[in-house]
Structure 1
């Protein structure tokens, strides 16, 4: 049986996200699973893409399996949430660095609030995807769940707050150490691509264009607005993450950096 374009994309995702998974694991080991939770979200995202692609490829031998098709589509839909959480973790770490020298408007509590919005959106998207899958099994027609729409609405709100937080942190870059500036750079470069990915989700859930249907839509649109956008974001974050110096612990248990690692900017 000849491979379809969707099969080719799934193979490419496995080929790309498998090494990305190992890089994310390395970043967690280097920077710490607890402190640098943003890298942990990269592990979750990479696993979601690998598993989703594997489920899609499994339909080659079982093309009538609705569970495989819906499972792959659901993982594709909720994959945006871990990417957003990565950005929130990075910008939160940059804001924390600013607070060593001056007051930062972007506080840990505000970052946690945005994180909660993303988490709720993730839960609603997962439940909504399950409902859509059940409808497809019962009626043979894929219908968008209102819960999925609500989840995407929360993701849009979270994106706006993330972009605003990034702008506020960027204004205070003179107070940052060199490594933290790279974190802001990673988020700033990622935001346009996340916006395109978010626009694809919004159109697929709110619009009536069948080309954006997550199960039977135009594969080229999905490739350009979803798959490639996500790959670019992961490449940006991991590339910059690998340039960051390892965080060490001072005797008091606080994070510390040597002068060789970070160059403090004069206040």
Structure 2
């Protein structure tokens, strides 16, 4: 059986995301597996792309297996969320470095709130994609469910908030440590490619253009607006990640607010003894 264009795209994804997964694992080992750091989401994203591509290729030998199609397209939808979460993780690290010397309007709690928003969108996208696939198996027509639309709506909101946070970080990035300043550049360079990918997802979910249909749409549009955009974003993020220094486990990044709290606590504990010594 001859390979289709979709099969070719899947083979290309496996070729790209196999080394990307290895690099993601190395970055997690080097910088930590914490969700706030963002590197863990690189592993999740790479796995989603590898598994989805493998399921799509499996349809060559099992063309009537609807479950393979459902799984492949569901993973394609939810894979967008980890990209935004990775960028939020990079912004969190940059912000922590900035807040060691100055205060900022955006803080780590705000970034965590955006992460939760995107994660909820991820869950809704997974459920909605599964439901849409099940309906396709019955009706033979693929339409995005309302749950998928709600999930993508949350991801769009998360992306907009991420851009606003990135602008805030970029304005004050000069206060970050020299080795951390490149984080803002990594996010700034990758965000436009994620935007194109998000636009493709929005058109396929909310629009009625058959060329953007995930099951029967134009493969070249998918390749240009989705697959290649994601690959470029991952290359940028992992490329910058490989240049970052490792922060020792014992070295805590203390923000200016934390420093003031510690200082106030120390003065409180020293109490009258401190004042007596000061008088002498």
TM-score with structure 1 length normalisation?
A: 0.93
Residue 257 of structure 2 corresponds to none
Distance in 1, matches of 2:118 and 2:95, equals 19
Cα deviations by residue, 1:213-254 (Å, 9 ceiling, x for unpaired):
01111000000000000000000000000001111133xx52
Q: How much has 1:81 moved relative to structure 2?
A: 0.3
Superposition pairs of residues 148-159 of structure 1, within 5 angstroms: 148-159=148-159
Unaligned segments of structure 1, at least 5 residues: 257-267
Superposed, which structure 2 residues align to 1:19-58 within 5 Å? 19-34=19-34, 37-58=37-58
Unaligned runs of 5+ in 2: 255-280
Aligned counterpart, 1:11: 11
Task: After TM superposition, give the deviation of residue 35 of structure 1 in Å.
Answer: 7.0
- CA displacement at 1:37 relative to structure 2: 3.3
CA-CA distance at 1:36 after TM superposition: 6.0
The equivalent residue for 1:259 is none
What's the offset of the Cα at 1:70? 1.1
Tell me, yes or no, if the aligned pair for 1:28 and 1:36 is still in contact at 8 Å.
no
Q: Deviations over 1:54-76 (max 9, x none)?
A: 00000000111111011100100
Distance in structure 1 (CA, Å) of the matches to 2:33 and 2:117: 22
Find the aligned partners of 2:25 and 2:36 in 1 and give their Cα distance.
Answer: 11
Partner of 1:160: 160
For the 8 Å contact 2:35–2:89, the answer to whether it is kept is: no
For 1:149 and 1:34, locate their aligned partners in 2 and report how far apart those are by CA, in whole Å: 29
Contact 2:37 2:93 (8 Å CA) reproduced = no
Between Structure 1 and Structure 2, whose CA radius of gyration is higher? 2
State the distance in 1 between where 2:71 and 2:96 align: 38
Distance 2:135 2:37 in 1: 36
Between the aligned partners of 2:20 and 2:36, the Cα distance in structure 1 is: 17
> Which aligned runs of 4 or more in structure 1 are off by greater than 4 angstroms?
none
Q: Deviations over 1:123-142 (max 9, x none)?
A: 11001001101101111111
- Matches of 2:133 and 2:150, distance apart in 1: 17
SS at match of 1:144: coil
Other structure's SS at 2:38 match:
helix
* 1:254 lines up with 2:249 in the alignment: no
Alignment of 1:139-154 (within 5 A): 139-154=139-154
Question: What is the SS of the residue equivalent to 1:106?
Answer: coil
Query: TM-score normalized by structure 2?
Result: 0.88
Cα 1:205/1:35, change in 2 over 3 Å: closer
Aligned residues: 254
Q: CA RMSD in A?
A: 1.2
Q: What secondary structure is seen at the aligned counterpart in 2 of 1:249?
A: coil
Q: Which moved more, 1:136-145 or 1:162-171?
A: 136-145
**1 or 2, which has the higher helix percentage?**
2
Contact 2:48 2:75 in 1 (8 A): yes
